[in-house]
Amino acid sequence: MQDWLSQRSHTTPNKKGVVDVASTTSYTFAELDTLVKQRSHALHAHGARHGSTVAVVTQTHFEAVLAIYAAVRIGCRVAVIDPDAPPVTVSARLSAIEIDIVLCEQNTKVVINQALDHTEEQTIPSLVPLTEITDSAVTSNPPADPLPDEAVQFLLFTSGTTGDPKPVPLSGQQIETAALGSACRIGLDPTDRWMSVLSMHHMGGITPLLRFPIYGMTLI
C-alpha cells in the first residue's frame, strides 16, 4: 500500500491534517508524518517487521490513528478489533487470524490478557500498550517498506447484516479505488473537514482515517 500520509506530507506539508478534539491541538501533514515516523521506530523496537500482523484493540482517538499509520509504514498488516467486546469475543477474533503484536490501552490490558489466555493460537502474540510507543525514545530506525498495493493491508471483522463476524481482507488498492470512486461521485472541496465519530473497527469508522491523506482534507 502506498504511504499516503508520507506522500501528502510532501504535497501539502503545511496544511492542517488532523484536529485532536481531546487536546484541541491541530497538526499539519508534515507534523503527522514526523509523529508516525517516531512511532514506527518504537513499534519496530517491539518486534514489528515487514509482513507482521498487528492487532489494534483500542478506542478511536489520535494516538490510535498514528499507531495504524506507523504499522503501515513498516509493512505490517493491521487487524482492527472492537475494544469493548467481551474477552471471549476478542479471543475469537485473535484466534481467527495469526497475530504477532496486540496494541492495547492500559484500561483494556486486563481484558485482552484474559482473551489471550483463551486464544487457540499456539504462539501468544506480544501485548504492547499504546503508551509504550507514544512515549518511547528508541533509536531503532526501520526502513519505510509498505506492503504492495495488491497485498492484504487491513482485516476488519464484519458479518454484513447477519451471522458471525469474519475477518474481511482489504488491500491498499481496494481502499484507494473506493476513495477515488467516492470522490468522483460526491466531489471534493479544498475546505472539506471530516469528523470521525464511529468506532474504527467498523468500515464506516476506519474509512475517514484512511482517506483523509488521500484527499488532503482535515480529519477531526
Return the domain boundaries, the chain. Answer: 4-219
**Contact by Cβ (8 Å): 28, 11:** no
Fold of 4-219: Rossmann fold (3.40.50)
- Pairing of β 25-28 and β 53-56: unpaired
| 1 contacts 149 by C-beta, under 8 angstroms | yes
**Rounded-to-integer distance, Cα 209 and Cα 194, Å:** 9
Q: Which of 68, 53, 40, 3 is nearest to 201 (CA)?
A: 68
State pTM to two decimals: 0.92
Helix and strand counts by DSSP (H, E) for the chain:
8, 10
In order along its 220 residues, the chain shows pLDDT tens digits of 789 999 999 999 999 999 999 999 999 999 999 999 999 999 999 999 999 999 999 999 999 999 999 999 999 999 999 988 888 888 888 888 889 999 998 877 877 877 777 666 556 788 899 998 887 666 566 668 899 999 999 999 987 666 778 899 999 999 999 998 988 988 888 788 999 989 999 888 999 999 999 999 999 9
* Cα 91 versus chain centre, distance: 19
